[in-house]
Amino acid sequence: MITLSGLAQALLFGLANGCIYILLATGLNLIFGVMKLVNFAHGQLLMVGAFVAYEVTTIAGLSPYVSILVSMGTVALIGIVLEEFAFRKVRGTEKLNEIFISLGLIYVFQNVATLLWEKNYSIQIPSPLAGLSLAVGEATIKYDLLLAVGIVIIILIGLVLLTKKTKVGLAMRATSQKSDASMLMGININRVYVFTFAVGAALAGAAGALYGILFPFNPAIGALPTIKAFAIIILGGLGSIPGAVVGGLLYGVAESATGYLTNGTWADAVAFALLIAVLIIRPTGLFGEKGE
Amino acid sequence: MDLKAIFTNLFRSRKFQLALVAIAFTAILPLFVRSDYIIGQVLTVMVIFAIYASSWNLLAYSGQGSLGHAAFLGIGGFASALLTVKAGLPAIVGLIIGGFVSAGVGLLIGLACVRLKAWFLAMVTFGFAVIVVTIVSQFDFIFGGTVGFPTPTFAPLVIPFFYATLAIAAISIGAIFFIMQSKLGLAFKAIRENELEAKMTGINTAKYRLFAFVISTFFAGLAGGLYAESIGFIHVSIFDPNYSFLPLIMSVIGGLGTMIGPIIGSVIIVSIDSFGPLTYGFLQPLNPLFRGVSNVGPSLKFVGLGLFLILVVIFLPKGIASLLPKVAAFFREDKSKAKNDGKT
């Protein structure tokens, strides 16, 4: 039965999804923009982030919103290891090699997570605000969702400040434009790359913790959001943060609305069909000016 | 060059002789392995996956990557099975038409997408596989839903089917190799190395990339039909992303862009898959370490597979096939040394 309030609820659900997608897509976009690296294993970092936040909340008894910080830090460290010991080794070789490496990483992360956590299938991070919600007309908004939106906004503002106002940010932007020239200007490219990857991973960690607060999760949640985040940065234009925000919200809401109208079965298929259609009409994305 | 000269050249070429030896070796294997399970579910599957991985390899040879090849494996499988079961065609005809159906769908996808850069195409193919799965699981009355339906085989199981599959594989892989060596293959290689320069030398890059895509999807569909027949039934799980990643892993581990690479990869991966479970017993002591699962074997197998892939990409970028000349050289050196020792 399709009702207006049901649709409103679905749109809010899409907003929650959109928040996760925005963080994931921004991280991917940053890594792609600066390093020209395609990391299909990015969503696995989200999955790890969710489990880290879960462990921190349940074992150490911290508030789930503090656990976001722990999760960001842990996942950033993992990101540093990945960059130093895997992706750096194939930099400058064929583009497909990065895809092969990230595919290997997907197998490793997903199955290590299965070994450690499979038995708590579909868990959720216990939030003190669970069950509380705000009534807006006929729909209700969970306080957790409102907080999540706020956190995403804070993180995005922090990211913009980092890239626009700091010296590291300047180095990142310079490297993204011309890595050879910035090397000649005395920028240590390797350090910029490690830093960029760590920031991108931290965003995925935050996305994971928020995912765990808003939705139930398991070791297999990483795969689809990655592909969707790629779809979003293709839609929103490569290297553009506003593009990722608009794309993430649009995608989340569109997916959720399709899911509501078709009982969930067609959500992914319609989303991918739209993506393919956009790519056929505009191979560089909706807002993108030039493709890689 | 007339036909006779082509054949004399062919028979004199070292690679052709080696290929004949390899086929002969595989053909006599069933004489020594007297287990129906190993012949039917291991050796036959190896041969089928060698075709499938070779089809993926041809695509990579032209600088394109697919993360959704299972879509074409499945389309070929379902088309050939449906043609045989519902339309009553002979299984062998269904098999071949299945390949052409897969190539037809590949042509449509290719027409739209071959202009895209490598990783855009990878994404589109992945998305396409998701779309196909959704469609197939929506029409249970045609595709059999979660139960699937049994597939008749074009040759009786197990031994005759094995030899028939081997013959099809020899022809298919031979054809793929022939394409790689031909002018078409040269164009693929030029596009892979530098698309802009290829364009400047007058190669219609979009056209040749489309050729590679269509040929690759044809053989993927053929492999799909064979695979469905070899396991006796088909259902929607053939579209699983794992089936998309397997030919990639096989090609990369074996050696991208070589004829022997996907074959080596198929032998290794199918062996791990089939004989891996035998080691699960030894892994039992590890169970208490991992509280997530009751049996650590299957997950550890995939962790190992992932690490293996990463290590091969980093340390052996040309795959295991690049080790073969070194091994051959090592033995030759040994022999010449022995000869010299004999003289002094």
A chain contacts of residue B300, beta-carbon cutoff 8 Å = 111, 115
Domain spanning B33-343: CATH 1.10.3470: yes
- How distant is the Cα of A135 from the closest Cα of chain B, in angstroms? 35
pLDDT for the residue B1: 52
Read off the pLDDT of residues B137-163 as tens digits, 9 standing for 90 and up: 888 778 877 778 888 888 888 889 999
pLDDT for the residue B213: 93
Read off the pLDDT of residues A130-185 as tens digits, 9 standing for 90 and up: 777 777 767 778 888 888 889 999 999 999 999 889 998 888 888 888 888 888 88
Of A186, A161, A159, the C-alpha closest to A175 is A186
Instruction: List % helix, strand, coil for chain A (3-state, nearest 5).
Output: 75, 5, 25
Helices (H) and strands (E) in chain A, counts: 11, 2
Beta bridge partners of B149: B234
Q: CA–CA separation, B63 vs A22, rounded Å?
A: 31
Contact flag B292-A230 (C-beta cutoff 8 Å): no
Q: CA–CA separation, B107 vs A86, rounded Å?
A: 36
Residue ranges with strand state E in chain A: 133-136, 139-142
Helical residues (DSSP H) of B232-279, grouped into ranges: 241-254, 260-275
Backbone angles phi, psi at A237, to 5 degrees: 100, 135
Give residues 222 to 241 of B whose Cβ lies within 8 Å of A: 241
Q: Provide the residue ranges of all domains of chain A, joining segments of one domain with +.
A: 4-281
* A95 in B contact zone (CB under 8 Å): yes
Compare CB distances from A114 to B252, B293, B314 and report the shortest one's residue. Answer: B293
Q: From B250, which residue of chain A is nearest by alpha-carbon distance?
A: A100
B chain contacts of residue A117, beta-carbon cutoff 8 Å = 292
Compare CB distances from A269 to B134, B248, B309 and report the shortest one's residue. Answer: B134
> Residue A219's CB: how many other CB atoms inside 10 A?
24
DSSP state of B233: E
* A107 in B contact zone (CB under 8 Å): yes
Contact flag B123-A227 (C-beta cutoff 8 Å): yes
* B194 in A contact zone (CB under 8 Å): no
Q: Half-sphere exposure of B302 toward its Cβ, with a 13 Å CA cutoff?
A: 18
Paired tokens of B105:
């769908």
Assigned CATH topology for domain A4-281: ABC transporter involved in vitamin B12 uptake, BtuC (1.10.3470)
pLDDT for the residue A282: 73
Contact flag A99-B65 (C-beta cutoff 8 Å): yes
Are the beta carbons of A238 and A32 closer than 8 angstroms? Answer: yes
Q: Is A129 exposed, middle or buried (0-12, 13-18, 19+ CB in 10 A)?
A: middle
Residue numbers of chain A with a pLDDT score lower than 50: 290-292
DSSP state of A203: H
Read off the pLDDT of residues B178-206 as tens digits, 9 standing for 90 and up: 899 899 999 999 998 888 888 888 888 88
Contact flag A89-B314 (C-beta cutoff 8 Å): yes
Backbone angles phi, psi at B294, to 5 degrees: -90, -20
Q: CA–CA separation, A100 vs A21, rounded Å?
A: 23
Contact flag A112-B303 (C-beta cutoff 8 Å): yes
Give residues 49 to 88 of B whose Cβ lies within 8 Å of A: 60, 65, 67
pLDDT for the residue A291: 41
Contact flag A100-B252 (C-beta cutoff 8 Å): yes
pLDDT per residue as tens, chain B (344 positions): 566 777 777 777 777 888 888 888 888 888 888 788 888 889 999 999 999 999 999 999 988 888 899 999 999 999 999 999 888 888 899 999 999 999 999 999 988 887 777 677 888 888 889 889 888 888 877 887 777 888 888 888 888 999 999 999 999 999 999 899 899 999 999 998 888 888 888 888 889 999 999 999 999 999 999 999 998 889 888 998 889 999 999 999 999 888 899 999 999 999 998 888 888 878 777 777 777 777 788 888 889 999 999 999 999 988 898 888 888 888 877 766 666 665 54
Q: Provide the residue ranges of all domains of chain B, joining segments of one domain with +.
A: 33-343
Contact flag B313-A112 (C-beta cutoff 8 Å): no
* Residues whose CB is less than 8 angstroms from the CB of residue A279 and which lie 6 or more positions away in sequence, other chains included: A234, A285, B113, B116, B120, B124
Three-class secondary structure of residue A134 per DSSP? strand
Compare CB distances from A265 to B134, B302, B308 and report the shortest one's residue. Answer: B134
